Structure formats: C-alpha cells, structure tokens
Amino acid sequence: MNWLQILNNTFAQILAPATLGYALAAIGLSVHFGFAGLLNMGVAGFMAIGAYGFAVSILTFGLAWPVAVLVGLIGAVLFAIVMGIPTLRLRGDYLAIVTIAAAEVLRLLFLTSSNRAWSGSADGLSGFQRSFRASNPLPPGRWGFGPWTYQSDQWWVIIVGIATIVVAVLVVWSLMRSPWGRVIRGIREDEDAVRSLGKNVFAFKMQALIVGGVIIAAGGIVTAMGTNVNPNVYVTSQTFFVWTALLLGGAATIFGPVLGAVLFWMVRAFLSNLLPALVNAGWLPFLTPEQSQMLVFVLVGIALMLLVIFRPQGILGSKKELTFVR
C-alpha cells in the first residue's frame, strides 16, 4: 500500500477546481441557510445554471468568456426570482420542496435529447474553455511543488477560483456587518418580529436568495472551467455534498464554508484512495474495489450524522448564532 501516493492525492484536493467550486457553493448556501434561514435544497440547480450559462454562451453564441460568466450569473438571478416569487411568502419547508424539484427539472432539461443541439444532452459540453485558457497570462509548462504541481492552464483556473472565493468572502463579510445583514439575521431568528418593525420580509428574503444563488452559480462556473459540463454531475447528491461542507465548517460563518469544503474533499479523497488499497491488500476481503467506493459515501453519511448530533454548529460555528442549535 503506497501511503505516499494516498497522501499526495489527498492534499492535492486542497487546490482542485472541484474544491474551489464547492467552497463558493457553500459560501452561497451559508447566505441562504446560515444567515437568512432559507432551506435551499437545490444547490445543484444553481451550479448547473452557472456552468451551462457559461458553456452555452461560448459554444452557441460565441461570447467572450468574461461575458459568458456574466450570463451564468444573470441566469442564477432569474432562477432565484422564479423560485422565490411563489415560495418566499411561505415558510421554509416549501422553499426546500420547490428548490429540490426545480434543480431536478433543470437537470432533465439539460439531459433531454431534444436539446442536444445546445446542451449536449447526456454527452454534456466540452471545448468551451479554449478562450479562457487563451487568456492565461502564465508561462506554459508544468510547475509547482509536491502534490500541488499543475500545468499552466490548471494554475490559471486555480488563481481565478481563489480570487473569486476571496471576493465572495469579502462581499458576504461586508453584507453581514451592514444593516442589511442584521435584518437578514433577524428574519432567520423571527421573521414575524422583523415584519412587525415595518420591514419587507419578502424583499429581504428575495435579495438573500439572489445573492447566495449568484455565489453558488459562480462555484458552478469555476468548476466548469476545470472540466467538462455534464448533466449527470448536477444530481441531488451534489446538493447534499455542499450541505455537508457547510455544516462541517459552520453554517453562519464567513470562513467556515471554505474550511468545510476543503476538509470534505480531502476526507473523501483520502477514503477513495485508502479503501481500494485496503481491499487490494486483502484487509477488506468482503469488498470489491468498486464496492469500496460506495462505502465512501456511507462513511461520509455517518460522519454527517455524527456531526449534526455532537457539533451541529460546525467547526467554526457558534451555538449562540443559530436558534436550531441548543
């Protein structure tokens, strides 16, 4: 069993595009759930809107990649408005039902063969990163150190992803320190009390849904910059993975979602490399290498349950911040 290779693959996840994308998605979900109390179970839908908006704008309409990014973010705004109008006047459970259904409808829309001309159907979309890579100011070649050795194009994705995370963190930090953020927190705790003070609760919840949705869509775009876009990626399990990252780091925190995403992908990579190695070494004779990959998801689910039971506020969270944590 090659422990060096296992650890190398584990630590490589710290700067992987998927980790950066999930960090952004968790930050956006923190705005929804951690600060505004909105139960968004359609994270995968927002990520799909961002990714497909970015890819389709380039491949179908020939737009420059910065404009394509803007299209993906605008798509997230429209998606939030469409979902929010019929649900935000109701209590949180209804939003959860609508968002998880809307995300699945979007996935099936991208998957259907009648839309193959622009969505690629089950094959997905590829080749849309060319203009983005052409704008890479870094010298060509492969460089770095240790597990963080990448090609120049990969470093370009990493730099853009980290810069986007920094911007998102600063935006959320500024918003939550503002009067707007205090109203959002008040709505999370008791929206009837906020309404009695003359605040338009619906408008504030809609604004929070849009802000968080745009950040989640940015996560989908960053992930798409490093790989192809495929509808089978944006399934319900992706939403639950982002929720796991958020709860791990701390829901109502600024840096918790980033920490949670990094730890989630490191643990998942560690188990995905360790368990097959144990099977091949004969230490888990009752499993095949394929079954060991399924065991990874079981262990992640058990870890999430233990986390919710013993530390529901997450690593960086505070029990005083969330009313559902006692």
Burial string for 231-269 (b: 16+ CB within 10 Å, else e) reads bebbebebbbbbbbbbbbbbbbbbbbbbbbbbbbbbbbb
DSSP assignment letter at 177: T
Q: Which residues pair with 151 in a beta bridge?
A: 142
pLDDT tens per residue, range 176-206: 999 999 999 999 989 999 999 999 999 999 9
Low-confidence ranges of the chain (pLDDT < 50): 324-326
Whole-angstrom distance, CA of residue 145 vs CA of residue 167: 26
According to the model, what pLDDT value does residue 326 have? 42
The owner of tokens 């500024």 is 174
Quote the longest CA-to-CA distance of the chain: 67
**Residue 8 in tokens:** 């190398």
Three-state secondary-structure class, residue 271: helix
DSSP assignment letter at 150: E
Which residue type, as a one-letter code, is found at position 94? Y
According to the model, what pLDDT value does residue 318 have? 78
Q: Interhelix angle for 152-176 vs 201-225, to 10°?
A: 170
- Tell me the pTM: 0.94
Instruction: List the alpha helices (DSSP H) in the chain.
Output: 3-12, 17-29, 43-59, 65-87, 92-111, 116-119, 130-134, 152-176, 179-196, 201-225, 236-249, 256-280, 289-310
According to the model, what pLDDT value does residue 92 have? 67
